[in-house]
Amino acid sequence: MDARSLDLKTCTLDAHRPLVIVDVDEVLAQFMAGFGAFVARHGFELRVDRFALFQNIYRPGETEHLDLIAGRALFDDFFRDGGEDLEPAAGAADALADLSLNANVVILTNAPEHGRQTRARWLKTHGFDYPLIINSGPKGPSAADLAGRVKAPAVFVDDLLPQLESVAASAPAVGRFQMVADERLRPLAPSAPDRHARIDLWPDLKVAIREALALDGR
């Protein structure tokens, strides 16, 4: 059984409570800020001038980005030994703590498997002590699996449009919200607000999620 299937299998949900499925990077964690600091410590620059990752890493003074293999290596190293330096997104822990009083909360991240322990520690340290599922590739099938276990509404929160589209395709009944934590990325992030509600601030997002889950009055 692969890691994702094992995570799904060991994740227990209360079938009578609604479900919040939430991404980590740029949703609970200030990924670009943390990765940028890590990249700088290795002598490179992360320039946030487009919504991309490896194409944004440069040697200082150069106009051509670092080759993608070197970028990928920095990314893998970050999850190995820089992943605990992330700042949490403002208001995220409070919002999830509030939602978790009435709903299941599950964290669905595409972190590499070698970053599991670091990621799990980071989440606990910052008040996100919820079941963790390490996914890879499109998140729709995992979201459909989880949502199928509750007899109540479910929502999914991610910063990436392709992941929102994946959930729309695999689990169309799941409510979808796009959230981008990094202020520099917000204007660059591809969005489709008519298909997936876009709310970048956790206090506002929490209100919209409570509404989507029909939690008010509970």
Residues that bind Mg ion (CB under 5 A): 23, 25-26, 159
Comparison of 104 and 109: residue with beta carbon closer to Mg ion: 109
**Residue 18 CB, nearest approach to Mg ion (Å):** 22
**Residue 175 CB, nearest approach to Mg ion (Å):** 18
Comparison of 102 and 189: residue with beta carbon closer to Mg ion: 189
Comparison of 23 and 200: residue with beta carbon closer to Mg ion: 23
Two structure tokens written together for 154 = 């479910």
* 116-137 residues labelled b (16+ CB within 10 A) or e (exposed): bebbbebbeebebbbbbbbbee
Comparison of 159 and 200: residue with beta carbon closer to Mg ion: 159
* DSSP per-residue codes, 150-199: -SS-EEEEES-HHHHHHHHHH-TTSEEEE----TTTTTTS---TTTSEE-
**Residue 27 CB, nearest approach to Mg ion (Å):** 6
Using CB positions, name the residue nearest to Mg ion.
25
In single-letter form, the type of residue at position 216 comes to D
CA–CA separation, 163 and 34 (whole Å): 22
**Residue 43 CB, nearest approach to Mg ion (Å):** 26
